[in-house]
A and B are shown apart, each in its own frame.
Chain A
Amino acid sequence: MSDVYILGTDMIKFGRFPDRTVPQLGAEAAQLALDDAGLTIQDMEALCCGNLYQASAMVGQRILQEIGQTGVPVVNCSNACATGATAFREAWMSIKAGIYDLVLAVGVEQMGRGLLGGGGGGKGIPKEGLLGSATMPAVFAEAGMEHSRKYGTTFEQFAKVSEKNHHHSTMNPKARYQIETPLEEVMNSEMIAYPNTKLMCSVNVDGSAAAVLASEKKAAELGMDRAVRVRASVLTSDPWQERDLVMPDVNTCTRAAAKAAYEMAGVGPEDIDLVELHDCFATAEILHYENLGLCGDGEAGKMIDEGATALGGKIPVNASGGLLSKGHPLGATGIANIYEVTTHLRGEAGKRQVEGAKLGLTHVIGLGSACAIHVLEKVN
């Protein structure tokens, strides 16, 4: 089977766009990615679209109504926060299977306001604040506390993740925020669910991102100057765990996906030059250093203390600013992080460029759970 390549990719600057529609936002990223590839919508043989909140509303087809109704097959997918990466993977699979040579993948989301998760529902009386909390900040706080319990990880160490990612975003013009946020400010911001403060929660934004994927044959024909090779694409769900009735497990499915992705790519974590991982909360990033094998179990706290995951460190993580500062439009996130890694591999990341990057990894988790990992490689 031939390899699959990314020929074009882009994202809109994340923000709040109440006056625009989901298809309009998706269309903008789609056209940007097509322009980046030097191709048109008429060249695309299929569209894979990821969107969560309008999952039943044919967003992919409505994007084509905005940019060109060519009659190609459209798949709409929804997979929690792994939605965008799942759409990308659907495109990858269809090319890998030899069915198409050029496929467009788009991820798009327009978000509501306020807390995610725990929103009533069910019969009887509301359970939030009665049977603990199902809000996302609390769920990921509890996941972080499990790490604290095992390894003594501190509130300050979790907070350092947010300081780092906010610093990275000052160099990313497409991030929602470009604001230096010192550690004290992170720690002293409003406590949402200990140990996650407000500045340790991902930013609720609208956004879209897109990528043009190509078969090896087509990529060779069109030119590989800026092409990026997809070395691995993996999707897992969560196997049964002792506590998973009450404690969503983001660890086991990430570990399984990482193992499979490294095997598929024929590389190890030590070969990876940069990582964009699912920092939906600062606590989560710490867990994923170990889940992705960037360090040994119990070493994540030391890793953040030593600056190993900051730009200039051994393995920069979330150079884009991550979900914590770039923003987290659920369905767009998985393709936005593919855009980020691709941009570094092309040497086009400007001030935040990871020098000499040849191999990068993207990771997202959709709670419930779905984990998607992609390993991307510079071609030329």
Chain B
Amino acid sequence: MADEQTGPLPVVDFLKIPENGDPYLEGHKCTECGAIFLDTRSACSKCGARDKLEALKLSNRGTLYVYSIVHRSFPGIEVPYVSAIVDLDGGGTVKGNLINVDPDPEKIPMGMPVDVVFKDALGRKDKEGNSYLSYFFQPQKQSQ
């Protein structure tokens, strides 16, 4: 028998939801050359080393590298949204929605510090009705 869903499922495999503790993003680091991946691979795609990828908890803080403000998407997807690429402190680059900003290029400076936050996946559910936990980026509060 399959287990009943007790909490949301992770939106991607590299989002980890520990039983006790806060969700986090997990990467894999090559101990040979230092390259960081979000998924697992047969070997390191930078240096080719085998069996050298070790799981690594990624930081919940980073800086906005680049972004695009998306105004047209597929039917049923609410626009606009900000598609952002974020370099995490300590390594790893992740793509996601940047939230709590005006969708205006004048107001979204590249290089700004952001936090990774974990929330419900915009109410999206799979065919079985399961809810999902996703990650988002938001500007770091300046007072903190």
Contact = CB atoms under 8 A, between A and B. Distances in A.
Q: Do A and B come from one complex?
A: yes
Interface of A: 114-115, 118-120, 124-133, 135, 137-138, 141-142, 145-146, 148-149, 155, 190-196, 240, 242-243, 245-247
B134 A195 contact: no
A138 B93 contact: no
B105 A195 contact: yes
A331 to B, nearest CB: 24
A131 B135 CA distance: 8
Interface string B87-98: 100000111110
B132 interface: yes
A237 B24 CA distance: 33
The 9 tightest CB contacts between A and B, nearest first, are A132-B83, A141-B68, A246-B95, A133-B83, A194-B69, A145-B66, A129-B77, A240-B46, A125-B124
Contact of A132 (B37, B71, B78, B95): B95
Nearest to B91: A242
Nearest to A141: B68
A106 B84 CA distance: 39
A97 to B, nearest CB: 29
B12 interface: yes
B124 A135 contact: no
A129 B66 contact: no
Where chain B touches its partner, the secondary structure class is strand
Given A124-B132, A125-B125, A145-B66, A132 B84 contact: yes
Interface string B67-81: 111111110011101
B92 to A, nearest CB: 9
Nearest to B44: A240
Interface-central residue, A124, A141, A149, A155, by most chain B CB under 10 Å: A124
Nearest to A242: B93
Given A131-B11, A191-B71, 12 more contacts: A129-B70, A130-B11, A130-B96, A131-B134, A137-B72, A141-B68, A146-B66, A194-B70, A194-B71, A196-B68, A246-B85, A247-B93
A71 B42 CA distance: 41
A185 to B, nearest CB: 17
Contacts of B65: 146, 149, 243, 247
A124 B66 contact: no
A129 B78 CA distance: 7
Contacts of A135: 70, 73-74
Contacts of A247: 65-66, 85, 93, 95
Contacts of A127: 11-12
Given A131-B95, A245-B37, A246-B94, A149 B124 contact: no
B101 interface: no
Contacts of B45: 240
Contact of A149 (B78, B83, B111, B125): B111
Contacts of A242: 35, 93
B38 interface: yes
Contacts of B81: 129, 132-133
Contacts of A131: 11-12, 95-97, 134-135
B105 to A, nearest CB: 6
Contacts of B37: 245
B74 A193 contact: no
B67 A145 contact: yes
Nearest to A120: B74
A125 B70 contact: no
Nearest to B77: A129
Contacts of A192: 70-72
Contact of B73 (A115, A125, A148, A149): A115
B85 A130 contact: no
B3 interface: no
A149 B110 contact: yes
A336 to B, nearest CB: 27
A236 B105 CA distance: 34
A233 B71 CA distance: 39
B56 interface: no
Given A128-B74, A193-B72, A245-B38, A149 B96 contact: no
A138 B11 contact: no
Contacts of A115: 72-74
Nearest to A245: B38
Given A242-B93, A245-B38, A193 B9 contact: no
Contacts of B69: 191, 193-194
A194 B105 contact: yes
